[in-house]
Amino acid sequence: MPRRIPQAVASAVLLLPLLAAAPPPEADSSRLALQGTFAAAAAEYQVPDSVLLGVAYLQSRWDGHAGAPSVIGGYGPMHLTDARTAVRGVSHHSEGTEDPRGDSARPSLAPRAEPRDLARALDAPRLRTLDRAAELTGLDPEALRTDPAANIEGGAALLAAAQRSLGEPLTADPADWYGAVARFSGADDTATAAAYADDVYGVLRAGQERTTDTGQLVRLAAQPRLAPEKGQLARAGLRAPVTAGTECPKDVSCEWIPAPYQEFGDHDYGNHDLANRPKSQPVRYIVVHDTEGAWEGVLNMVQDPTYVSWHYTLRSSDGHIAQHVRTKDVAWHAGNWYVNAGSVGIEHEGFLARPDAWYTEAMYRASARLVRYLAFRYGVPLDRQHILGHDNVPGPVTANVAGMHTDPGPYWDWRHYFELLKAPIRATGDGHGGLVTIRPSYDTNRPVYTDCAAKGQPCADHGSSEVRLYSGPGTSYPLIKDVGRGTDPTTGVNDISSRVSTGQQYAVAGRQGDWTAIWYLGQKAWFENPRKHATAVHAAGLVVRAKAGRASVPVYGRAYPEASAYPRGVPVQAVSPLSYTLPAGQSYVVGGEVPGEYYYSVTFATDAHRVVVGKDRYYEIQYGHRVAFVRAADVDVVPSVRG
């Protein structure tokens, strides 16, 4: 018979004040059950309540995800892992029609790599903590997956076991548990374990309060003077980190796993281009991807010269970072050469079309630290026109539009991510500012999506960063159509035709009741925006409009120079407008002014590489779900303020 937390202990804990995690006095007692469950498990295994809560917050933000596994097969509030149940996928770079390099000056890249057998990798100890928890508690593995109380008990047992393995007493002082917290991460090196433990103790010092995905109120009181005993880490038996050559902030764990730059016949080479950024050209964008595959298999792919590349990969279990390409060099990741040449690409272990395959707080936090570091280093603004999802990158020419990738998709929590970036998405204007910034509540905003598991079938009900657009002020109107895709819009999880995403800004085109209209893809698009549950906030800024006398102006997927700018020996690249226009009378938010620029880099030897910069100027704009470009000569830039 599996053991359970004794009812008497649980009842007593619920009746006593929670010293480290007291809920607000006005809270409904039915909403405090999870708080009591944490306290009971902590008492049973002699783990400080605050330590158990802090670890669980970093793992899951206290959510249970209805028993669904994370991207690496982690379950419940404590993220107990059983990776053999996780979905094994192939990288999204090998799917669809997008050329990840996105350079029409050379043949389309067709990656040939396949993931290796991951059976051995999936047996790594960090991916099997649920089995260990079952051994320690006697609880059934299925209960550990699906029952939050059992899952929390399993996590407490693992922490207590880690403390004993270090030869440390089971004290009530959270400062004495640093080594056990580091071991709980599952990391095998000191840098990753320390970064994880530092994050947990940062949560303990700051405190947290949150309503979970089941409506439970959980509170962790702040302990601002808490100073853990970090010397315990030296006795944890972990390897020294491999950090040589990495470009990462000091407060993350980072290792160098290089993507190969080598020739492999027929004048072909891979899997990135050498450059000299930012001296040769600036880094303007950071692009967020998901891997659509597990850590070990994805690392195998990026080390294949016949495959594609990106600069960094983040591991879901603990936020560990691997760097593959120097940030001075150009990786092949975004499907648009102009964006590739001016961006850093970051992959996150995850799956777009599996809403319950959730990301850990550890990965979100490590990613935010990395992006803040890169943004400061290269002067990249922390906004949604420069911190792009892959799904915000435009097709470089019309033929590419329909095949562009759509990750990280509607389940990436952009609002929380920007809070971690220390650039929270806030109102920047009043009702006369003329703009809105999309900002729904991630947890309560639950649009219906289809095609996650099977064509036409609804996806699991889940929070989302995205808001759906209609051609009129009501859900009875048709969805907005993206003429560039050439197909009717759907609710498919990969169909971004009629969706806006958290943090994106648009010019207001009208209001009617609880509905707001914006200019989007050359059309007036409506989204539900009730005052009591607003999905957008007011903003003000600069917008572009077609110059007077112009019925419309062209829209581009890349900002390339005029023909006269190309030197001898560098083929002229076409300045090709997309199948979109910016009609007279419409306004679109400006992301910045850029020169026409093209990086010619089609040979393995770098002596023929050139950065061509023209006299033509462009403005990046938020045109639809993706950004786009317009020639400065075609538009006027004006304040968005409405009269």
Residue 321 has pLDDT above 90, yes or no: yes
For the stretch 603-629, pLDDT in tens is 999 999 999 999 999 999 999 999 999
The greatest distance separating any two alpha carbons of the chain, rounded to the nearest whole angstrom, comes to 84
CATH architecture under which domain 7-88+119-235 falls? Orthogonal Bundle (1.10)
Whether 325 shows a pLDDT value over 50: the answer reads yes
Higher-pLDDT residue of 306, 200: 200
Q: If you search the block for the tokens 């379950």, which residue do you land on? A: 75
Specify burial of residue 465 (Cβ count, 10 A radius: 0-12, 13-18, 19+). buried
Q: What is the pLDDT of residue 236?
A: 87
Sequence letter at residue 292: E
DSSP state, residue 371: H
- HSE-CB at 570 with a 13 A cutoff on CA atoms is 21
Residue 86 pLDDT class (50, 70, 90 cuts): low
Segment 505-513 shows an average pLDDT of 97
SS3 465: coil
Range 582-586 average pLDDT: 98
Q: In the prediction, which pLDDT does 111 show?
A: 62
User: Which residue from 2, 321, 301, 294 is spatially nearest to 141, judged by alpha carbons?
Assistant: 2
| Per-residue pLDDT band at 114 (split at 50, 70, 90) | low
How far apart, in whole angstroms, are the C-alpha atoms of residue 616 and residue 619?
A: 10
d(CA 65, CA 423): 27
Question: Mean per-residue pLDDT for 371-380?
Answer: 98
The C-alpha torsion from 561 through 564 and 565 to 566, rounded to 10°, is 100
Task: Note the pTM of the prediction, 2 decimals.
Answer: 0.90
Could you tell me which residues are beta bridge partners of residue 556?
577, 629
Domain residue ranges in the chain: 7-88+119-235, 423-540, 545-639
Q: What is the pLDDT of residue 507?
A: 98
Is it the case that residue 14 has pLDDT exceeding 50?
no
Cis? peptide before 440, omega within 30° of 0: no
Euclidean distance between CA atoms 614 and 617, whole angstroms: 8
Q: Where are the beta strands (DSSP E) in 441-514?
A: 466-468, 499-501, 505-512
Phi-psi label, residue 488: left if phi above 0, alpha if psi -120 to 50, beta otherwise: beta
Segment among 69-83, 397-411, 478-492, 497-511 with least mean pLDDT: 69-83
Q: Is the pLDDT of residue 63 over 60?
A: yes
pLDDT at res. 2: 37
Average pLDDT, the chain: 90
Kindly indicate the confidence band of residue 13, based on its pLDDT and cuts at 50, 70 and 90.
very low
pLDDT at site 24: 54
Provide the pLDDT for residue 268: 85
pLDDT digits (tens, 9 = 90+) for 118-140: 555 566 788 899 999 999 999 99
- Alpha helix stretches (DSSP H) within 185-264: 190-206
Percentage of the chain beyond pLDDT 90 is 76
Query: What residue type is assigned to position 462 of the chain?
Result: H
Which residue reads 């764990």 in tokens?
253
Q: Is a pLDDT exceeding 90 seen at residue 593?
A: yes
Residues with Cβ within 8 Å of residue 161, at least 6 apart in sequence? 132, 136
Of the candidates 184, 144, 150, 180, the residue with the CA atom closest to the CA atom of residue 37: 150
Per-residue model confidence as pLDDT tens digits over 290-306: 998 888 888 999 999 98
Q: Is 183 helix (H, G, I), strand (E, B) or coil?
A: helix
- What is the predicted pLDDT for the residue at 122? 64
CB-based contact 203:57 (threshold 8 Å): yes
pLDDT at residue 317, as a whole number: 85
Tell me how far apart the alpha carbons of residues 161 and 151 are, in angstroms, rounded to a whole number: 15
Question: For residues 110 and 91, is the Cβ–Cβ distance under 8 A?
Answer: no
**Angstrom distance (rounded) from CA 374 to CA 284:** 11
pLDDT digits (tens, 9 = 90+) for 536-562: 999 999 999 999 999 999 999 999 999
Burial of residue 242, with CB atoms counted within 10 A of its CB: 0-12 exposed, 13-18 middle, 19 or more buried? middle
> Sorting pLDDT into bands at 50, 70 and 90, what band is 6?
very low
Q: What is the pLDDT of residue 360?
A: 83
Residue 329 DSSP class = S
Mean pLDDT (whole number) for 149-159 = 98
CA distance 316 to 319: 6
229-245 average pLDDT score: 85
Residue 335, CA atoms < 13 Å, CB-side half-sphere = 32
Residue 217 pLDDT more than 50?
yes
What tokens were used for 603?
A: 């040979």
CA 100 to chain centre: 19
Residue 29 confidence (pLDDT) above 90: no
Strand order in the sheet with 588-600: 577-583, 552-556, 627-631, 610-622, 588-600, 542-546, 635-639
CA angle 476, 479, 485 (to 5 degrees): 160
Mark residue 88 as left, alpha or beta (left: phi above 0; alpha: psi -120 to 50; beta: remaining): beta
Q: What is the pLDDT of residue 211?
A: 94
Structure tokens at 317: 């279990």
Alpha-carbon distance values, 126 to 121, 154, 187 (Å) = 10, 15, 7
